[in-house]
Amino acid sequence: MQEMQAVRPGFTGPQAPVLRRVGRLPGAARSKRMVVPRALLDEQLEAAKRVRRRRLRAMSSAPGKVTAEQRLVQRVTMGQNRVEMARVEELGYQRYLDYQLDYQAIDDSELEDAIATAFPSLSMSAAELLTRYRENQGVPVFELIASSLFRAVYSPRQLYERMVIFWSDHFSIHLFSDAQPFLKPVDHREVVRRHALGKFPDLLSASAHGAAMMVYLTNDSNVKGSPNENYARELMELHTVGVDNGYSQKDVREVARCFTGWGVANGRNSSPIGEFFFDARQHDERTKRVMGRTIAEGGIGDGERVLEILSNSRRTAKHLARKLLVYFHGYEPRKRDVNRVANAYMKTGGDIQAMLRQVLKRGRMERAQPKLKRPFHLATSALRGLFADLNRPGHLFDYLFAAGHLPFNWGPPNGYPDSEAFWSGFVLPRWNWASTFLNQATGGGVDIDLPFVDPSLSAARIVDGINGYLFNGALTAATEASLLDFLKSGKKIDKNKIHDAIGLAVASPDFQEF
């Protein structure tokens, strides 16, 4: 990766300040707006308004209680809203799940066209990115993060987008590091998004062959005679079988040897720069033994064989099963559930959809316990519930940064934690975001155009609207009373006060969980 190396100083040095300032990217990138397709938003808004209150009332159970259907929508989307709730009511539990899993049948072209126009870097190869943005790495960085936000909020393929986030953590790559502004966008497109609901072995293989992971975990400097264990270790510990699970330090070294010679084209070999390149001269051809098996395929086959062994391991199935259950179901998965989901993996050759069907089984969802939203999820769920027109994503970056959850900004390779203990301490940024971003009076970044944002309505009607849109009618009595008190006290109701009430609802403990 000579060519890449040559540019490294360019973005690890003078460029670092540029990347550091991504939250207020100067000029072009920062002020660049992706206009949410008006038609898309209007359509959803209209649909939401058409959903009659009575119907939602009928669907929502007692305050604080949630039906299996509602739980399903909450867990498979980046935030429930009236449109999805109406859809699950219409389709029923199983058909709604089928609908979300068959994601390619859901038309998202309106959003994707807008994204492609606004963020051209997303569709470029590493070589193109390098040529185009060598001096301005902030642009692809901004576009990748902003597009992730837009997709999470507006894409109709919600379960798919939620899985994209899951795999972005599982195969986490720090975007603000060596060469990643040119590599991670490709990885996100060709690895994570391409296989998010496909087969895990394909996903793993794509990740292993991808330049982004190769550089991030320094597999590109892993050569014959002096293996570099970095990728080998994380491949087993994080990506497949799980930590200290059936492998030893010797296995790590042997796996590293299997991957010697794997690298990234440097522009001087036949492959285009930034693409996978296997350098046979750097490959250690002696026989290896990995987890009790002899690896003697030779050449690139050694690494491929390791990926195959790891993909076929039940330990991998269980590791993934556990993580998926934590992600969708609750922090303490039962052993039985882990086994069921792992069985689905083993039976189908690692089919991700088959695993999800087990994870999201109705009976299982009925037992699901509330989970704490991570900061990104808090933002997307508020924006989705309110059908907000997100017109200044850059401001949202500030919040995500302050809350410690800016996409692709987790340094180590284990991805953002999915744990209550980690995220529950830092509530202040959540409150502050809710009270500033959702309010034009404090320079917020959204337009909210909903029927209940109307100062001529009574406090009760307004709170009803908030309850309907953000909580699907399941707001707890305490929070409902508190919002009412807030609206009734002090000065008379104006638009800003309604926005304050919305912010308060988003900051409430009810809304931190899903």
Residues 141-200 that bind another protein (CB under 8 A): 176-178
List the Cα angle 342/348/350 in 5-degree steps: 60
In the numeric block, the tokens 């083993």 are attached to 346
Minimum CB distance to another protein, residue 105 (Å)? 38
Minimum CB distance to another protein, residue 238 (Å)? 8
Which window, 62-70, 93-101, 118-126, 433-441, contacts another protein (CB under 8 A)? 433-441
Gap between the Cα atoms of 217 and 453, Å rounded: 50
Gap between the Cα atoms of 424 and 512, Å rounded: 9
Under the binding rule (CB under 8 A), the answer on residue 244 touching another protein is yes
Minimum CB distance to another protein, residue 404 (Å)? 2
Minimum CB distance to another protein, residue 409 (Å)? 6
Which window, 83-91, 190-198, 304-312, 412-420, contacts another protein (CB under 8 A)? 412-420
Minimum CB distance to another protein, residue 378 (Å)? 12
In the numeric block, the tokens 């709730």 are attached to 85
Name the residue nearer to another protein (CB basis): 303 or 445.
445
Minimum CB distance to another protein, residue 398 (Å)? 5
**β-strand partners of 262:** 278
Q: CB–CB of 377/79 below 8 Å?
A: yes
- Contact letters for another protein, residues 365-384 (x by CB under 8 A): -------x------------
Size of the site for another protein (CB under 8 A): 83
Minimum CB distance to another protein, residue 324 (Å)? 19
Minimum CB distance to another protein, residue 113 (Å)? 31
Name the residue nearer to another protein (CB basis): 120 or 246.
246
Name the residue nearer to another protein (CB basis): 7 or 106.
7
Residue among 1, 23, 140, 390 that touches another protein (CB under 8 A): 23
Residue among 148, 240, 409, 472 that touches another protein (CB under 8 A): 409
Nearest to 37 by CA among 392, 390, 463, 509: 390
Minimum CB distance to another protein, residue 311 (Å)? 21
Which parts of 448-507 interact with another protein (CB under 8 A)? 478-479, 482-483, 485-486, 489-491, 496-497, 500, 503-504, 507
Residue among 91, 436, 447, 495 that touches another protein (CB under 8 A): 436
Residue among 272, 349, 426, 460 that touches another protein (CB under 8 A): 426
Nearest to 319 by CA among 249, 245, 369, 217: 245
Minimum CB distance to another protein, residue 351 (Å)? 28
Minimum CB distance to another protein, residue 257 (Å)? 12
Gap between the Cα atoms of 460 and 480, Å rounded: 9
Under the binding rule (CB under 8 A), the answer on residue 440 touching another protein is no
For residue 131, what are the contacts with CB-CB under 8 A and spacing of at least 6?
A: none
Under the binding rule (CB under 8 A), the answer on residue 421 touching another protein is yes
Whole-number Cα distances in Å, 388 to 20, 40, 154, 497, 514: 28, 12, 10, 17, 19
Under the binding rule (CB under 8 A), the answer on residue 24 touching another protein is yes
Under the binding rule (CB under 8 A), the answer on residue 391 touching another protein is no
Gap between the Cα atoms of 148 and 160, Å rounded: 12
Residue among 8, 132, 357, 362 that touches another protein (CB under 8 A): 8
The helix/strand/coil state of 293 is strand
Q: CB–CB of 501/462 below 8 Å?
A: yes
Nearest to 197 by CA among 288, 76, 297: 76
Residue 267, sorted as left (phi over 0), alpha (psi -120 to 50) or beta, turns out to be: left
Element (H, E) at 262: strand 262-264
Residue 131, sorted as left (phi over 0), alpha (psi -120 to 50) or beta, turns out to be: alpha
Which window, 8-16, 90-98, 197-205, 352-360, contacts another protein (CB under 8 A)? 8-16
Q: What is the DSSP letter of 437?
A: T
Name the residue nearer to another protein (CB basis): 69 or 220.
220
Gap between the Cα atoms of 221 and 31, Å rounded: 39
Nearest to 146 by CA among 385, 383, 406: 406
Element (H, E) at 294: strand 293-295
Distance of CA 273 to the CA centre of its chain: 28
Residue among 312, 401, 447, 453 that touches another protein (CB under 8 A): 401
Q: CB–CB of 362/94 below 8 Å?
A: yes
Nearest to 359 by CA among 381, 344, 373, 369: 344
Element (H, E) at 277: strand 276-278
Which window, 87-95, 318-326, 339-347, 411-419, contacts another protein (CB under 8 A)? 411-419
Minimum CB distance to another protein, residue 330 (Å)? 14
Name the residue nearer to another protein (CB basis): 57 or 488.
488
Which parts of 198-227 interact with another protein (CB under 8 A)? 218, 221-223, 225-227
Residue among 228, 271, 348, 353 that touches another protein (CB under 8 A): 228
Minimum CB distance to another protein, residue 316 (Å)? 16
Gap between the Cα atoms of 36 and 237, Å rounded: 40
